[in-house]
Amino acid sequence: MKDVVANDILTKEDATALIIAAKKQAGLTWEGIAGEIGMSPVWTHSACMGMNAFPADKAAALCALLELPEGAAEALEESPTKVWAQTVPTDPCIYRFYEIVGVYGPTLKALIHEKFGDGIMSAIDFDMEVTRIPNPKGDRVEVKMSGKYLAYNAW
């Protein structure tokens, strides 16, 4: 990571690197950061990774909390360019989500179409929550996703 000096123009990538370093140095969790700025942990992490744009007040709160340099808030407020690798990831945790979509994607699509009609679940007007569920056989990961239904337009 480059050294940041006054009047540097920061990119979203610069801001992400600064956030990760500041989070680690402060010993904070994503849940803790999200609670301090008044957002969900899922959205906060996604925005910190550059995949969403922070509203100005939330960017300012995050920068104050993590003592980020001037210019970081402006970078965090910019609209993202959502580009990610199109290859299947090798990280085991992320790969499992690809596996879930590969196995259950057609089922999810069929059930959505039966219940709502021909359309999609929005990933823009979207909420997600990750919860730990105690279980005697081994704790469970619960992922709840809720997206606005968007019907396909015929034109």
Tell me the average confidence (pLDDT) per consecutive run of 10 residues in the chain, 155 residues long.
63 96 96 96 92 95 97 95 78 92 88 93 94 98 96 83
pLDDT at position 106, please?
81
Task: Answer yes or no: 96 catalytic.
Answer: yes
**What are the φ and ψ backbone dihedral angles of 119, each rounded to 5 degrees?**
180, -165
Task: Answer yes or no: 122 catalytic.
Answer: yes
Task: Answer yes or no: 132 catalytic.
Answer: no
> pTM of whole model > 0.85?
no
What residue ranges define each of the domains in the chain, with the CATH number in brackets? 12-77 (1.10.260.40), 92-151 (3.30.1160.10)
CA distance 117 to 81: 30
pLDDT at position 77, please?
97
User: Which one of the listed residues 99, 129, 140, 146 is annotated catalytic?
Assistant: 99
User: Which one of the listed residues 13, 31, 67, 96 is annotated catalytic?
Assistant: 96
| Residue 85: count of CB within 10 angstroms of its CB | 6
